[in-house]
Structure 1
Amino acid sequence: MFELSKACRILSATIVAFSFASPALAGGKTLACYQQVHQPAVYKTVHQQVVVRPGGVIHETIPARYGQVTEKVLVTPAHVVARHIPAVTRTVHQTVMVRPKSVGWEWRHVHGKRTLCKVVHPAQYATRARTVIVQPARTVHERVPARYAHRTRTVVIEPARTIARQVPPVIKTVARTVEVQPASSGWIQVSGRSRCH
């Protein structure tokens, strides 16, 4: 096609040159006839993939997750304490002999006369109170059990972490029109001498 177009252009230039250079030759015997033709440009639609957004790696941070836990905690440990118990006493009353029975001499008046007589002195008793110990003082050791309580606190169930996520590229197919062959013009020989009259 390119060689034909080139030949047509040469032929066209030659014909134009002869038409201007030899006007006296008009009306002569026809040897060949030519017609000028135009070839429009040829286009076609091509589809091409283009990257709209490139792919890559996105690092995403996932926050930590927390929760509440209730636990038993020791408030006071078990221990032993010493406790003093005072003595138990009571008051008792007892009759005691103050003076024993005795024999003695004493002066008395018998029939108006002073007389020395032998006499018996009976024993003398009295009631006296005294404190007696029913149970002596002592020290006892008592075991005090441990004391517990419940406490609620916040704990980390899952720590924060960073994950890498692969993001694929975004590709789009676009259509565009391209010129396959440019427009051209030239001369072609008309077949048959009858067409030249």
Structure 2
Amino acid sequence: MKLYSYWRSTTSVRVRIALNLKGVAYDYVPVDLTKGEQAGDYAALNPSKGVPALVLEDGTVLTQSQAILEYLEAAYPEPSLLPGTVAQQAQIRAAAFVIACDIHPVNNLKVLTYLKGQMDQSQEAVVAYMQHWMTEGFTAYQSLIRPDTPFSFGDTLTLADLGLIGQMVNARRWGLDLAPFARLTDIDARAREIEAVARALPEAQPDAN
């Protein structure tokens, strides 16, 4: 299969970690978002003009990172990213969606480009905007997870942790004060020691610059 990805994309980080954890081999196809490659031929593959997109062996195209993660969980159930009871799985999804639905959609490249372009906002205003929504989201996330486990919901990585790891990359990039989020930085540091996670981080990608 092929993974269309951009090295610094936080949504791509989630999927890369899942593929690595589950031992699923894939070819990496870079899509440079900063050069507008998502609006070229790639748009025929993914009309949303975003990454990642996963092309299966039979040619089926999957888009939207959370949908891809759900597919991988169903097709490659071990190790599970949604352990526990149905209720516990819903709690994991809820925390994951705080990252995927509350933070990322208002903090992605399309939004920032619009703010600086059509809305004529300064770099300082854009940074403040980014930091505000990450603070709001991280505060909610930290309240939803368990307080005393190695990872967000237990001893192993879950769907929620994958989103957190990617968003922590963005938080550091935009200079977010992480002092109020010691629980999250601890989880992130512990996760980065896992080889499957380390191989999925932005700096480890072939298109990193």
Q: Looking at both structures, which has the greater relative contact order when contacts are Cα pairs under 8 Å and sequence separation is at least 6? A: 1
* Higher strand proportion (structure 1 or 2): 1
- Counting helix residues as a fraction of each chain, which structure ranks higher? 2
**TM-score of the aligned structures, taking structure 1 as reference length:** 0.18
Structure of larger gyration radius: 1
TM-score by length of structure 2 reads 0.17
